[in-house]
Structure 1
Amino acid sequence: MLALNEQTPEHDDLPESLQEIADAIGREGAMHLVENCGGTRVFVPRKMRVQHKLVTLLGFEQARKLSQYFGGETLTVVRNAQLLRRERNREIIRRYDAGTGVRQLALDNNLTERQIYAILSSMP
């Protein structure tokens, strides 16, 4: 098991507070927390109950893991709009490469076609 403050390569673009959450529940779970709770504080109980909002949000197993690491603490979940935008853009590029059209990508992401073309032109 990783020490909580030990960076992993897949987490090194995350802010430190989010890296710790990602170490506990994985990057996908941490990003799900940001998307749904970013900019707020979330209390993590020592004993996770099925009715807790974190269980509804993350599923029982991830919520339990979060409780193991942070039980009794209040986490400040960063908003991190830049990271969310980067993740969104990666997903747009991935979907475009898989054959989704620019129009559909624009509709799905509440963006203009021009914005989608700008994202696609930023591909390395």
Structure 2
Amino acid sequence: MNILMEDIPYELHAMAEIIGMKNFEEIAKLYGGTTVYIPVHRKVILGERNREIVRQYNGKNVDKLRIKYGITSQQIRKILTDNGVSN
């Protein structure tokens, strides 16, 4: 089967271009007719940011990390605690 860009709704053209027509067809098979939530990019990258904070934490650098990541010391400590790091 050869699906063309003109076969899909205009508002989905950008998605089809990014993921490719074959992947778009697979998504249509799996999720066609349903509502799919795609989180904002900021939320998608939070897990990686938090893992980086845990990796970079040395027991003394909460202030440095809070400045680097633009969050509060309390948020840094919560990320560490949530990931099993005592601080």
User: Normalised by the size of structure 2, how large is the TM-score?
Assistant: 0.46
Higher helix share: 2
Greater per-residue strand proportion: 1
Choose between structure 1 and 2 for higher RCO, CA contacts under 8 A separated by at least 6 residues.
Answer: 1
Larger radius of gyration: 2
Q: If the length of structure 1 is used for normalisation, what is the TM-score? A: 0.36
